[in-house]
Amino acid sequence: AGYTNDSAEYNGSTWTVGNDMNNTCRSRSAFGIQTAAIGANAYLSGSQASTVAESYNGTSWTAITATGTARYFGSGFGTQTAGVSCGGRNPPVTTLTATEEWDGSSWTAGGAIPASRQLAQGYGTQTAGAILGGGRGYPTYTQDGNQQDYNGTTWTTSAALGTARSNGMGGGTTNVDGGFLGGGQAVSGGNAVTNTEEFVAVGTATTKTITTS
């Protein structure tokens, strides 16, 4: 029923109140760690898709350069100085393929996602990142059942989820080391799922020589 600019921090056992964000909003593309984070884009109260962005240093939020594409329901991954905001929605009818990269001071256009999507879970780094699932299409959304990998330039489809879904929660280190996705919606507007899926990369074959004595 309302929007908030509250933030909260977790120390491994408890939550504490953090300082307020500059923007009262929802549905951001976020990335980074507790002491070096970015909140990009948003659905602002009384508005719609926005380009606003801000950074967090563990104590306070500071406005940063706006993104080039207005969106909400987007995905984010990376670090405070090398991150990505991608996909999402710019109403009334558009789901997006646009990708933008953040270098710590400015946003630049990146490679387009193969198919538009919103509410996908992002994880990884700017050059080894991924998005899991997501919804696409309007007004009837279909749930995507794939992981899309990003190498800093282009996107590729790397693996199929067992359950196509959007609006889930997950994480991971890189698309090489693997990640996970839990919960979400199997059908837009309902049918929440509880299962969790883990992605384990195949890896690269290597040849090693063993010398015995």
Q: What would the DSSP string read from start to end of 30-95?
A: EEEETTEEEEEEEEETTS-EEEEEEEE-SS-EEE-PPPSS-BBS-EEEEETTEEEEE--EETTTEE
Q: What pLDDT sits at residue 189?
A: 66
**Rounded mean pLDDT of 173-189?**
88
**Rounded mean pLDDT of 82-110?**
93
Q: What pLDDT sits at residue 202?
A: 65
Q: What pLDDT sits at residue 212?
A: 83
* CA distances, 179 to each of 80, 170, 184, 191 (Å): 20, 7, 16, 23
Q: pLDDT category, 203, cuts 50, 70, 90?
A: low
Q: What pLDDT sits at residue 131?
A: 96
How many Å apart are CA 60 and CA 39, to the nearest integer? 12
* CA distances, 4 to each of 23, 93, 114, 162, 182 (Å): 8, 25, 33, 34, 25
**Rounded mean pLDDT of 106-135?**
95
Share of the chain above pLDDT 70, in %: 95
Residue with tokens 């007004």: 139
**Rounded mean pLDDT of 191-197?**
90
**Rounded mean pLDDT of 97-106?**
97
Q: What pLDDT sits at residue 46?
A: 80
48-57 LR contacts (CB < 8 Å, sep 24+)? 48/72, 48/90, 48/91, 49/88, 49/89, 49/90, 49/91, 50/23, 50/25, 52/22, 52/23, 52/25, 53/85, 53/102, 53/107, 54/21, 54/22, 54/23, 55/80, 56/7, 56/18, 56/32
pLDDT of 138 above 80? no
Query: What are the tens digits of pLDDT across the range 151-168?
Result: 999 999 988 999 999 999
Q: What pLDDT sits at residue 136?
A: 83
Q: What pLDDT sits at residue 26?
A: 94
How many Å apart are CA 101 and CA 61, to the nearest integer? 20
